[in-house]
Structure 1
Amino acid sequence: MNIRNIAIIAHVDHGKTTLVDKIIHATQVFRDNQETGELIMDNNDLERERGITILAKNISVNYKGVKINVIDTPGHADFGGEVERVLKMADGVLLLVDAFEGPMPQTRFVLQKALNLGLHPIVVINKVDKPNCRPDEVHDAVFELFFQLDATEDQLNFPTLYGSSKQGWFNTSLTPTDNINAVLDMILEKVPAPKVNEGTLQMQITSLDYSSFLGRIAIGRVSRGVVAEGQNIQLCKLDGSMVRGKVKELYTFEGMGKKRVTEVSAGDICAVVGIEGFQIGETIADFEQPEALPVIAIDEPTMNMQFSINNSPFFGREGKFVTSRNLRDRLMKELEKNLALRVQDTDDADKFLVYGRGILHLSVLIETMRREGYELTVGQPQVITKEINGQKCEPYEVLVVDVPSDFSGKVIDLVTQRKGEMLIMESKGEMQHLEFDVPSRGLIGLRSQMLTATAGEAVMAHRFSEYKPWKGVIPGRNNGVLIAKQAGSSTGYSLDKLQDRGSFFIDPGEEVYAGMIVAEHIKPGDLNVNVVEGKKLTNMRASGSDAATNIAPKIQMSLEECMEYIQQDECIECTPQSIRLRKILLDENDRVKYAKAMKTS
């Protein structure tokens, strides 16, 4: 069969999407005079802004008469659910590793999934044009990683390519060439054609697409038999039941788009239109003798957050969707394609518990909802605890930090304060490589502190390892906050007088409400302040002459930084145009009563 199915996996920022760009150009998917730009596969606004891949995508290219289906996967462990479901479509993996950094925690996470599925690996050591790169050491480290992950004899005998996606060359040695054909030739040579089992139709749905004309589209790889237009099928549901259906239209992938066909045989990836009510992981099977494929195993979420309607005084000013029904419908829709997410109803109809893989996983969902016109309030992220053998246990992660040697002491100090234990400390040139075992709770809010302590030099990555006994209280934020006493527009006069009390999150002229967090206090403990007081008119000068006040610019925090910053009695108001920090109880007297009640209990 002239088909190869290959997934590209790597740690974030090791160059997956750039390599896919080069494959697209090398196989002339576009006309020579067509304007394509960079990072062609990252077509989602959030992906382009952040420079990361969030959703797995597939394209197909033709090389030497062979059709190669290429699947671009995310590098963040937070989006591991995306990787777990699409690896089922591949027969081989292209493991991309940075020639300086070597295998990182998330490389290990995705590679383990690929090796367990018996996929054939090709290792590509990328960015060999970087100064202080060490391709030979990295090659040894990759071999060691394969060995640790119990790779088979065949998998350990992996071929290796060296090169630079950015400069557009790859070779079996370190000698630069002028093209990336070595990668494509290696795929044809080392990745086997899809195995085709004898028997009736079986196709597992591993992805879904949506079209306003065609409705929901099921995407997957035909693992057995043939699927044809107009064919009657049975949909094997996750609960074991069967639903009858009919294939209305059938598409295969060609270049960046889809091409309509009449039938697709086993081994190819296709898109099926016309099946109602399917979910990812279900099997499209033969009408007469339906047989289901094993369900895709997805790792459990490790963190949850409370999502609720926006109940601040500024409710409904900016968003289109503000009711709890809107919020619930949107979260249920997200569950269809986001396999690592869980949503649970609470006693309060306006609040939902949303479980995810990590802060980035949940923040991408919140950011997407904001852009779609939703208003919501989200609480502090909490880790999910379990009881194992009668003992309370929490998730632990392996934290890897690469930092200049001068700052290593500060990093060790910061992590040990958060109940982390050092596992490895070794030198990599001028950099110090540190590995820690740390509770997931300890990582919340650690990144910003670490970047401050290391002058922005620390490179931090982490991945879930296992559940272990609860480590006790981990110190949170050191400083309190300044809270607005009353509603109105903040004035330069008030902010100027309060500058020595803390660092502000607002500028003069911004509207505030009572209970809104306006600044970080320089001391522990919260303080209620009046930021809307104007200068009184005197017979000496007009109340408007405030030109002489020198106010420091406000602190700009991203959504993830806000999620890591807030404490248990605080929440974030997210609307299409604003992100505001606030206390859950807006009234000052209510907060005092609640604090007293907590002390007595």
Structure 2
Amino acid sequence: MTPLDKIRNFSIIAHIDHGKSTLADRLIQRTGGLSEREMSAQVLDNMDIEKERGITIKAQTVRLEWKGHVLNLMDTPGHVDFAYEVSRSLAACEGALLVVDAAQGVEAQTLANVYQSIEHDHEIIPVINKIDLPSAEPEKVKTEIEEIIGLDASNAVLSSAKSGIGIDEVLDAIVERIPAPKGDPDAPLKAMLVDSWYDPYLGVVILVRVIDGTIRKGQQVKFMATGTTHLIDRVGAFTPKLENLPDLGPGEIGFITAQIKEVAQARVGDTLTDAKKPAAEPLPGFKEVQPVVFCGLFPVDAADFEKLRESISKLRLNDASFSFEMETSAALGFGFRCGFLGLLHLEIIQERLMREYDLDLITTAPSVVYQIELTHGGGHIDLHNPADMPEPNKIETISEPWIQAVIYVPDEYLGSILKLCQDRRGIQQNLTYVGGRAQATYELPLNEVVFDFYDRLKSLSKGYASFDYEQIGYREGDLVKMGILVNEEPVDALSMIVHRSTAETRGRGMVERLKELIPRHMFKIPIQAAIGGKVIARETISALRKDVTAKCYGGDATRKRKLLDKQKKGKAKMREYGSVSIPQEAFIAALRMGDDA
């Protein structure tokens, strides 16, 4: 057991691409965690997607030794979708390194996580990274940290993780400035479950931070939120290699395994205590993670359905925040309705299914969870799928989730970004300027953001805008279900819930796009967007037709008329009995409808 005054627990806070993973690599290398031969770039980002996109998806910990002290580094995800995991990781630390790019300055994500860190009463050490870049302006960034965040940056550590400048200074600052943890080794066991993942050999591996008491091999522990008890069969830490230890004492961060088969049993934020001598109450802050965005996943080839079911179940072993249930669609066949923490989470799961399990998927338009109050005291329902919306006469009110978004953008792009927020029913809360950049705070409906808001934001600002959001609850709205009819048949996969004010524009965009995508048939095909029984937009795909009058030469005009009338009757009959085949590409393209449609 390590003495309390020799332990330092810290996390690294940074915006995407500010050098967080590279700094973690250098700290591991400098403290001798891995030899030169074992090192690889972004050691803690062990998924291919993490390395390619330069993002951290799963929290990782590593135990380092420096000048007689044990330093526990928590590498946390930076993205808003994983905000709850970040809050638990921060709760397990006493301090944080705030990494800011010397060329780019403070960005939106940095801000969100710094405020969380300040709420946990952390000692925050500013680290200005990438000082060897030609465009680096460390003094300007120090001023930004002081003006925007309100932290004293006069003693900020200047470093370049890539070239290895200032790494010793960072390690010394951690030892000197971050306080040691507090805890009582003789009190009943209290440990926080920081993260868990599935290992094919060990079962579920659980990352814990011990607050009071000691965790030993062979001990019976109880999970306070789920109420289950388990026998610990392994205790250890990552250095970053797996190292078994006899026990973990107060203030220490390490892992345990206890023959648990599913990650869902080990929920992030839960409290572990001794089954025989339990703690009086659990640690504060635990909450169930609720999916925010829902969409349907369908295999392109219907024969892959069982393969998709198996793949989703395997992914679920490793990611308890992702939920799924089976659904069928007349247009797309059998598939699953899946819930995600946000858009990035959706994208990552989709990409992992395609890559790791070699599946071709169709994703329906993402939708959020709506709360519907039914008339005549019928209670309320949570609506995940627009196709399941009750009849309008049974609905009293519909509420949709809203978010508060903070957008950082250089001055020259501000106008187009404000217009984008206005178009998406945004309510401006605040607009301030720091240096050459504006910070806009908006309240927006989540429904308008999940579609393609982020892509539009990036393209309008040439990639310079950064965006972060938090949920602020539900509000009533004038929302309607817009259905798409092809040849007077509703296509359930294309129905969506929209605000009445934007329904016509959305509907017109959708039918125009479908007109281009659906191939012509031998008969005329009307494509309509409708709200209930009222058609709000229509396009018609003209029929392919044979020139039946080609063989007429000379004679009366009635001969031609007769042939054309006969053809017309045939076309009408065909339309009555003919079915329209909508190619898969048409679905995919229609569901990716942007503002340009």
- The verdict on a shared fold, with TM-score over 0.5 as the criterion, is yes
Match of 2:238 among 223, 231, 253: 253
Aligned to 1:485: 519
**Residues in 2 aligned to 1:58 and 1:579: alpha-carbon distance in whole angstroms:** 45
| 8 Å contact from structure 1 (residues 322, 375) kept in 2 | no
Residues 61 and 413 (structure 1), Cα distance of their counterparts in 2 relative to 1, 3 Å cut: same
Match of 2:28 among 7, 24, 32: 24
Residues 125 and 87 (structure 1), Cα distance of their counterparts in 2 relative to 1, 3 Å cut: same
Higher gyration radius (CA): 2
**Residues in 1 aligned to 2:292 and 2:232: alpha-carbon distance in whole angstroms:** 39
**Residues in 2 aligned to 1:572 and 1:382: alpha-carbon distance in whole angstroms:** 23
Partner SS state of residue 284, structure 1: strand
Shift in Å at residue 363 of structure 1? Answer: 1.2
Structure 2 residue 432 is the aligned partner of structure 1 residue 419: no
Shift in Å at residue 237 of structure 1? Answer: 4.0
**Residues in 1 aligned to 2:447 and 2:475: alpha-carbon distance in whole angstroms:** 13
Structure 2 residue 97 is the aligned partner of structure 1 residue 94: yes
Residues 274 and 345 (structure 1), Cα distance of their counterparts in 2 relative to 1, 3 Å cut: same
| 8 Å contact from structure 1 (residues 123, 158) kept in 2 | no
Shift in Å at residue 387 of structure 1? Answer: 7.6
**Residues in 2 aligned to 1:135 and 1:526: alpha-carbon distance in whole angstroms:** 57
Shift in Å at residue 362 of structure 1? Answer: 1.2
**Residues in 2 aligned to 1:526 and 1:45: alpha-carbon distance in whole angstroms:** 44
Match of 1:14 among 3, 7, 18: 18
Aligned to 2:554: none
Q: How far does the alpha carbon of each residue in 1:154-189 deviate from its partner, in whole angstroms, 9 at most, with x for none?
A: x8799532333233223xxxxxxxxx1111001001
Aligned to 1:448: 455
Structure 2 residue 328 is the aligned partner of structure 1 residue 322: no
Gaps of 5+ in 2: 374-395, 479-498, 522-536, 545-581, 592-597
Aligned to 1:463: 469
| 8 Å contact from structure 2 (residues 205, 255) kept in 1 | yes
**Residues in 1 aligned to 2:476 and 2:406: alpha-carbon distance in whole angstroms:** 18
Residues 131 and 420 (structure 1), Cα distance of their counterparts in 2 relative to 1, 3 Å cut: farther
Shift in Å at residue 485 of structure 1? Answer: 3.3
Aligned to 1:360: 344
| 8 Å contact from structure 1 (residues 419, 438) kept in 2 | yes
| 8 Å contact from structure 1 (residues 384, 394) kept in 2 | yes
Structure 2 residue 197 is the aligned partner of structure 1 residue 216: no
Structure 2 residue 385 is the aligned partner of structure 1 residue 398: no
Residues 273 and 404 (structure 1), Cα distance of their counterparts in 2 relative to 1, 3 Å cut: same
**Residues in 2 aligned to 1:371 and 1:84: alpha-carbon distance in whole angstroms:** 30
| 8 Å contact from structure 1 (residues 19, 165) kept in 2 | yes
Gaps of 5+ in 1: 148-154, 171-179, 488-523, 532-570, 585-601
Map 1:81-480 to 2 at 5 A: 81-130=84-133, 133-143=136-146, 146=149, 160-170=156-166, 180-197=167-184, 198-229=186-217, 231-239=218-226, 241-243=227-229, 245-254=230-239, 256-276=240-260, 278-280=265-267, 281-291=269-279, 293-294=282-283, 296-298=285-287, 301=290, 303-310=292-299, 312=300, 314-316=301-303, 319=304, 321-322=306-307, 325-326=309-310, 329-330=313-314, 332-336=316-320, 338=321, 341-343=322-324, 352-373=336-357, 374=359, 376-386=361-371, 392-403=399-410, 405=412, 407-423=413-429, 434-443=440-449, 444-454=451-461, 456-467=462-473, 469-470=475-476, 473=499, 474=502, 476=506, 478=509, 480=513
Residues 438 and 399 (structure 1), Cα distance of their counterparts in 2 relative to 1, 3 Å cut: farther
| 8 Å contact from structure 2 (residues 372, 397) kept in 1 | yes
Partner SS state of residue 194, structure 1: coil
What letter is aligned with 2:399? K
**Residues in 2 aligned to 1:136 and 1:412: alpha-carbon distance in whole angstroms:** 30
Shift in Å at residue 62 of structure 1? Answer: 1.4
What letter is aligned with 1:49? E
Aligned to 1:541: none
Aligned to 2:486: none
| 8 Å contact from structure 2 (residues 16, 55) kept in 1 | yes
Shift in Å at residue 95 of structure 1? Answer: 1.5
Partner SS state of residue 159, structure 2: strand
| 8 Å contact from structure 2 (residues 103, 137) kept in 1 | yes
**Residues in 2 aligned to 1:144 and 1:299: alpha-carbon distance in whole angstroms:** 36
Residues 581 and 134 (structure 1), Cα distance of their counterparts in 2 relative to 1, 3 Å cut: same
What letter is aligned with 1:253? F
Q: How far does the alpha carbon of each residue in 1:361-420 deviate from its partner, in whole angstroms, 9 at most, with x for none?
A: 111112112223255543211133458998834312314142462x44333333322223
Q: How far does the alpha carbon of each residue in 1:210-261 deviate from its partner, in whole angstroms, 9 at most, with x for none?
A: 33332222221222222222x331323414x342x3222222222x211122
RMSD over aligned Cα, in angstroms? 3.9
What letter is aligned with 1:273? T
| 8 Å contact from structure 1 (residues 439, 471) kept in 2 | no
Residues 235 and 35 (structure 1), Cα distance of their counterparts in 2 relative to 1, 3 Å cut: closer
Partner SS state of residue 581, structure 1: helix
* Aligned length, in residue pairs: 475
Partner SS state of residue 204, structure 1: strand
| 8 Å contact from structure 2 (residues 148, 434) kept in 1 | no
**Residues in 1 aligned to 2:30 and 2:345: alpha-carbon distance in whole angstroms:** 33
| 8 Å contact from structure 1 (residues 480, 526) kept in 2 | no
Further displaced range: 41-50 or 343-352: 343-352
Aligned to 2:526: none
Residues 62 and 354 (structure 1), Cα distance of their counterparts in 2 relative to 1, 3 Å cut: same
**Residues in 1 aligned to 2:435 and 2:334: alpha-carbon distance in whole angstroms:** 54
| 8 Å contact from structure 1 (residues 480, 525) kept in 2 | no
**Residues in 2 aligned to 1:458 and 1:269: alpha-carbon distance in whole angstroms:** 37
Residues 156 and 70 (structure 1), Cα distance of their counterparts in 2 relative to 1, 3 Å cut: same
Give the TM-score normalised by the residue count of structure 1. 0.68
Residues 529 and 141 (structure 1), Cα distance of their counterparts in 2 relative to 1, 3 Å cut: farther
**Residues in 2 aligned to 1:579 and 1:213: alpha-carbon distance in whole angstroms:** 43
| 8 Å contact from structure 1 (residues 121, 158) kept in 2 | no
Further displaced range: 293-302 or 372-381: 293-302
**Residues in 1 aligned to 2:87 and 2:181: alpha-carbon distance in whole angstroms:** 19
**Residues in 1 aligned to 2:199 and 2:471: alpha-carbon distance in whole angstroms:** 39
Residues 462 and 103 (structure 1), Cα distance of their counterparts in 2 relative to 1, 3 Å cut: same
Larger helix share, 1 or 2? 2
Shift in Å at residue 199 of structure 1? Answer: 0.7
Partner SS state of residue 164, structure 1: coil
Residues 295 and 376 (structure 1), Cα distance of their counterparts in 2 relative to 1, 3 Å cut: farther
Further displaced range: 8-17 or 23-32: 23-32
Residues 480 and 222 (structure 1), Cα distance of their counterparts in 2 relative to 1, 3 Å cut: same
**Residues in 2 aligned to 1:530 and 1:401: alpha-carbon distance in whole angstroms:** 50
Further displaced range: 189-198 or 202-211: 202-211
**Residues in 1 aligned to 2:538 and 2:102: alpha-carbon distance in whole angstroms:** 47
**Residues in 2 aligned to 1:82 and 1:530: alpha-carbon distance in whole angstroms:** 55
Residues 372 and 102 (structure 1), Cα distance of their counterparts in 2 relative to 1, 3 Å cut: same
**Residues in 1 aligned to 2:443 and 2:136: alpha-carbon distance in whole angstroms:** 27
**Residues in 2 aligned to 1:96 and 1:8: alpha-carbon distance in whole angstroms:** 7
Structure 2 residue 46 is the aligned partner of structure 1 residue 43: yes
Residues 437 and 276 (structure 1), Cα distance of their counterparts in 2 relative to 1, 3 Å cut: closer
